[in-house]
Amino acid sequence: MVRKQVFSREDVIRAGKAVVARDGMGALSARRVADELGASTAPVYSNFANMEELGIAVRRAVTEEIFEFTTRRFTDDPFLNMGVGVLEFARQQPGLYSAVFMQEATKCEAGPELMGRLAERMAGLAGLGALSPGERALLLQQVAIFTHGLAVHIVSGLAEDMSFDDLLVFLADAGRAMTDRALSRPAREPAAEALMERLVNRQQKEDDRDE
172-180: long-range contacts (C-beta < 8 A, 24 or more apart)? 172/75, 172/80, 174/143, 174/146, 175/79, 175/80, 175/83, 175/143, 175/146, 176/80, 178/139, 178/142, 178/143, 178/146, 179/79, 179/128, 179/139, 179/143
For residue 4, pLDDT over 80 is answered with no
Domain membership of residue 63 (yes or no) is no
Q: Flag whether 43 is in a domain.
A: no
Segments forming the whole domain that contains residue 81: 74-210
For residues 67-86, give the mean pLDDT.
97
pLDDT > 60? residue 187: yes
56 located within any domain:
no
**Residue 186 belongs to some domain of the structure:** yes
Which is nearest to 62 in space by CA: 7, 111, 115, 119? 111
Q: How far is CA 93 from CA 21, 68, 85, 142, in A?
A: 7, 14, 12, 23
Q: Is residue 125 part of a domain?
A: yes
For the segment 105-157, what is each residue's pLDDT rounded down to a tens digit?
Answer: 545 567 888 999 999 999 999 899 999 999 999 999 999 999 999 999 999 99
The pLDDT of residue 111 = 82
The amino acid occupying position 188 is: R
Q: Is residue 15 part of a domain?
A: no
Q: Is the pLDDT of residue 96 over 60?
A: yes
On whether residue 4 sits in a domain, the answer given is no
State pLDDT tens for residues 80-93. 999 999 999 999 99
CA distance 41 to 34: 5
In this predicted model, which residue has the larger pLDDT, 96 or 106? 96
Per the prediction, the chain carries an average pLDDT of 92
Q: In total, how many domains does the chain have?
A: 1
Domain assignment present for 65: no
